[in-house]
């Protein structure tokens, strides 16, 4: 009998039942989906790091490393393994593409994972193991021939395998390009034997050990410990970077950290709203069922059986919502981590399985336990006293007169205003939940669209205004003099830049020295305003300023790698930058006695000569094209947030509106009896909703801005973003919230036409 009663009651309260299931499903789905995203990415990246022997440290030298140098590094206490390593950008024959030609003398470190074709052989004289993503984008298959060139050296061979490499997990030429573009840039591994065969006999004696300018190391030492031991073992100070200073580690881990940050805010908001709504609604449903509960008690049903019966409502809602939410969560995870999606373009992983962290299942179980306990406690409260007491209808608690009601101002208010004010104070929990739902809706809308405004401003500043050139010409710094570079810049009517690796403390940064006479490169200050570089000192990026607590007027000391000298320069400004860098003009660098070699020329000219001291040319268009995928992913995420905010607003407001209608059923019946028209009663309901909406918007706007600012601060290690909110964001957020609230209010207000005045007024008050 009770089973039939269970289903009849569920049908009777179907609106509340469906809304609560949707709320729990949304809460669980968003919570699970966001955590699946970062955890799956974390597991998958760690797997490829482990499978390919991703190096913990990288030692660099302009003069190269010999086998003896490698043995010295391997002899360091705490070093697990090491390899001599070479990676150089080469031009693809008969094409404008660039391939990072890579050689590792020990494939247990900085190696590859085979996806298709033959296994790698370190003695193969003609095999090329090519990036499978580059191959797919350019129609290259196993067995095809490939020729690349570097200066006067040409390497030709057959593609024997398609591979993945953790060293190129995020395959971009440099930090100025945000997204990989496999149609124009990729990587390939060849054997040491093939590399030696490709070098003309004339150069072998000259080059000697300088083939390998890098040693990659696996070690559990800290960076400070390793640097000290490596410098002692090699007898000189070297440029040493740990894995956190590489793009493939820093950017991938940044995505994981970003996911953790996002997962700690938005899902918690959804879950909090879902659970609080459930608590309030279950209490109202059990209050409405008070007479039924009393009837069961009068018929002899034991309290524990009645408790089990009504607790089952909360359990069923929790289980159904959780099961639906699990499906939503995995769907959301697959949407973000689709093998064909934008994230797969950004991070080059072998596979995209979905994993959920263990704590998410514990949280979901605890949610169901908590909801069941809420249902249990709500019913137990109704079972207090005798059967006669339980049979009496639920009577809302009386509300005391407020001091406000005794004022002249209150007495001069209209009837509808007085009535709605009293109702808000009488049903504080419902009013609070309505307000909470509106605030949550505003936070999602302002946060989602505000992030788009912020990123649009960021991209506009850095890639539309700061990049004022059409081509970036990268020079061979080993074989070009500054005089030759100056002549090339003059011929191409361009500006130029020199870069040096420096360290501050134990961290590596880039020193960038610019000569800007033709306005080809611009810079943005901390307020994202374009400025002109001064010759009076150095500029630092916002991340250096934050990490070392520096500002304009202070001094900064850094050490160029490869020497023991320390250079101290005044800080005259803070820049927002794509790279962690110190920036100065060539005029200031010359006065400060800082040596440099020109590495890049920026120009609009198309008649760029090939070969010689020019390594490769990168167009602004290729950089900009790579952002399309990035913005596509961001736009999808923003649409998800907007849709989620609308669903959240509709479900919460409709559920609480139905609750409000039920609680005020007798009052509205009384109003109808004394002559109030349906339209006027409907306006009473809508007005209260609009009040709460206005208050919710006023709270939600600063709350949304605060949440967005927190996210930008948390993401500051990856990007230097300044919060920007456009007029459209304010307008759309407010109008959407008002629209949802008004639509729900109109739906609820129409129900007063069906009020049974006789039945409503027969109940005891």
Indicate the residue among 237, 271, 287 that finishes a domain: 237
Most confident of 235-239, 431-435, 551-555: 551-555
Based on the fold, state whether residues 488 and 570 are members of the same structural domain.
yes
Domain of 84 in residue numbering reads as 62-237
| pTM of the predicted model as reported, rounded to 2 decimal places | 0.77
DSSP 250-295: HHHHHHHHHHHHHHTTHHHHHHHHHHHHHHHHHHHHHHHTHHHHHH
Indicate the residue among 395, 429, 456 that finishes a domain: 395
Residue 39 resides in a domain: yes
Mean pLDDT (the chain) is 81
Kindly tell me if the per-residue pLDDT of 699 is higher than 70: yes
Question: Which 3 state secondary structure label does DSSP give 244?
Answer: helix
Based on the fold, state whether residues 496 and 633 are members of the same structural domain.
no
Residue 613 resides in a domain: no
Based on the fold, state whether residues 649 and 511 are members of the same structural domain.
no
Based on the fold, state whether residues 538 and 508 are members of the same structural domain.
yes
Which residue blocks in 132-200 are alpha helix, DSSP H? 132-138, 192-198
DSSP 301-345: --HHHHHHHHHHHHHHHHHHHHHHHHHHHHHHHHHHT-TTSHHHH
Instruction: Note whether 485 and 543 are within 8 A (CB).
Output: no
Q: What is the pLDDT of residue 145?
A: 92
Based on the fold, state whether residues 85 and 229 are members of the same structural domain.
yes
Q: What is the pLDDT of residues 657-677, one digit of tens each?
A: 766 666 666 666 766 666 677
Count of domains in the chain? Answer: 4
Q: What does the alpha-carbon distance between residue 765 and residue 759 come to, in Å, rounded to a whole number?
A: 13
Mean pLDDT of 206-222: 80
Q: What is the pLDDT of residues 260-294, one digit of tens each?
A: 877 777 777 777 777 777 777 776 677 666 667 76
Based on the fold, state whether residues 580 and 628 are members of the same structural domain.
no
Based on the fold, state whether residues 76 and 196 are members of the same structural domain.
yes
Tokens (6 digits) for 523 = 């810079």
Instruction: Note whether 101 and 188 are within 8 A (CB).
Output: yes
Based on the fold, state whether residues 155 and 233 are members of the same structural domain.
yes
Question: In Å, what is the CA distance from 448 to each residue of 34, 442, 638, 645, 715?
Answer: 15, 10, 5, 10, 15
307: closest CA among 372, 238, 249?
A: 372
Residue tagged 């940050």 (tokens)? 261
Residue 196 resides in a domain: yes
Kindly tell me if the per-residue pLDDT of 480 is higher than 90: no
Kindly tell me if the per-residue pLDDT of 402 is higher than 90: no
Q: What does the alpha-carbon distance between residue 332 and residue 30 come to, in Å, rounded to a whole number?
A: 8
Q: What is the pLDDT of residues 373-389, one digit of tens each?
A: 887 777 776 666 666 66
H or E element in which residue 510 lies: strand 507-515
Mean pLDDT of 693-713: 84
Based on the fold, state whether residues 226 and 303 are members of the same structural domain.
no
Q: What is the pLDDT of residues 565-609, one digit of tens each?
A: 788 999 999 988 777 889 999 999 999 888 888 989 999 888 888
Q: What is the pLDDT of residue 630?
A: 65
Indicate the residue among 576, 605, 634 that finishes a domain: 605
């Amino acid at each position: 009998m009770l089973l039939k009663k269970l289903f009849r009651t569920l049908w009777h309260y179907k609106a509340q039942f469906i809304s609560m299931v949707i709320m729990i499903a949304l809460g669980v789905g968003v919570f699970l989906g966001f955590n699946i995203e970062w955890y799956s990415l974390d597991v998958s990246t760690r797997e490829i790091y482990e499978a390919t022997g991703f190096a913990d440290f990288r030692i660099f030298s302009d003069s190269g490393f010999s086998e003896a140098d490698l043995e010295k590094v391997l002899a360091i206490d705490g070093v697990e393994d090491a390899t001599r390593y070479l990676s150089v950008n080469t031009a693809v024959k008969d094409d404008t593409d660039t391939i990072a030609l890579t050689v590792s003398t020990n494939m247990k470190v900085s190696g590859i994972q085979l996806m298709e074709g033959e296994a790698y052989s370190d003695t193969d004289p003609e095999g090329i193991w090519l990036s499978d993503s580059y191959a797919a984008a350019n129609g290259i298959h196993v067995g095809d021939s490939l020729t690349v060139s570097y200066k006067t050296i040409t390497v030709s061979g057959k593609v024997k395998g398609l591979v993945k490499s953790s060293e190129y997990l995020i395959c971009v030429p440099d930090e100025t390009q945000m997204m990989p573009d496999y149609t124009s840039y990729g990587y390939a591994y060849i054997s040491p034997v093939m590399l030696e065969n490709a070098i003309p006999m004339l150069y072998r004696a000259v080059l000697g050990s300088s083939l390998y300018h890098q040693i990659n190391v696996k070690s559990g030492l800290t960076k400070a410990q390793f640097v000290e031991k490596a410098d002692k073992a090699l007898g000189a100070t070297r440029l040493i970077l740990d894995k956190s200073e590489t793009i493939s580690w820093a950017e991938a881990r940044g995505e994981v950290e970003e996911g953790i940050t996002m997962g700690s805010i938005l899902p918690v908001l959804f879950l909090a709203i879902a659970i609080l709504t459930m608590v309030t609604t279950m209490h109202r449903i059990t209050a409405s069922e008070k007479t039924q509960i009393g009837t069961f008690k009068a018929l002899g049903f034991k309290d524990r059986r009645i408790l089990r019966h009504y607790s089952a409502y909360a359990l069923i809602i929790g289980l159904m919502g959780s099961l639906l939410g699990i499906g939503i969560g995995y769907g959301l995870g697959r949407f973000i981590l689709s093998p064909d999606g934008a994230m797969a373009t950004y991070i080059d992983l072998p596979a995209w399985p979905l994993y959920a962290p263990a704590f998410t299942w514990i949280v979901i179980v605890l949610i169901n336990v908590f909801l069941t306990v809420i249902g249990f406690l709500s019913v137990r409260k109704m079972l207090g006293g005798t059967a006669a007491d339980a049979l009496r209808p639920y009577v809302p608690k009386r509300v005391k007169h407020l001091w406000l009601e005794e004022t002249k101002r209150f007495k001069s208010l209209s009837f509808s205003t007085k009535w709605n004010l009293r109702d808000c104070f009488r049903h504080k929990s419902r009013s609070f939940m309505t307000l909470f739902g509106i605030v949550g809706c505003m936070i999602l809308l302002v946060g989602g669209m505000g992030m788009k405004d912020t990123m649009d401003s960021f991209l506009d500043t850095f890639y539309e205004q700061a990049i004022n050139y059409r081509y970036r010409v990268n020079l061979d710094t080993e074989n070009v003099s500054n005089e030759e570079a100056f002549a090339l810049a003059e011929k191409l009517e361009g500006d130029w830049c020199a870069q040096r690796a420096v360290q501050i403390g134990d961290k590596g940064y880039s020193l960038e020295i610019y000569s800007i006479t033709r306005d080809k490169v611009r810079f943005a200050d901390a307020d994202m305003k374009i400025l002109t570089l001064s010759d009076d000192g150095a500029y630092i990026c916002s991340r250096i300023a934050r990490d070392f607590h520096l500002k304009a007027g202070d001094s900064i000391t850094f050490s160029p790698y490869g020497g023991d000298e320390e250079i101290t320069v005044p800080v005259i400004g803070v820049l927002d930058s794509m790279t962690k860098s110190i920036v100065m003009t060539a005029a200031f660098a010359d006065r400060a006695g800082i040596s440099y070699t020109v590495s890049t020329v920026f120009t609009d000219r198309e008649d760029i000569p090939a070969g010689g001291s020019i390594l490769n040319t990168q167009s602004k268009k290729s950089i900009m094209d790579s952002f399309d995928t990035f913005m596509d992913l961001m736009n999808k995420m923003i649409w998800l947030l907007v849709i989620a905010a609308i669903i959240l607003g509709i479900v919460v407001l409709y559920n609480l509106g139905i609750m409000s209608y039920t609680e005020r059923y007798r009052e509205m019946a009384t109003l109808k009896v004394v002559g109030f028209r349906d339209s006027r009663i409907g306006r009473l309901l809508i007005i209260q909703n609009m009040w709460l909406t206005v208050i919710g918007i006023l709270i939600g706007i600063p709350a949304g801005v605060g949440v967005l600012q927190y996210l930008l601060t948390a993401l500051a290690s990856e990007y230097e973003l300044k919060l920007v909110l456009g007029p459209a964001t304010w307008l759309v957020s407010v109008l959407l919230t008002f629209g949802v609230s008004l639509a729900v209010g109109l739906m609820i207000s129409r129900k007063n036409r069906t009020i049974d005045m006789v039945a409503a007024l027969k109940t005891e008050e």
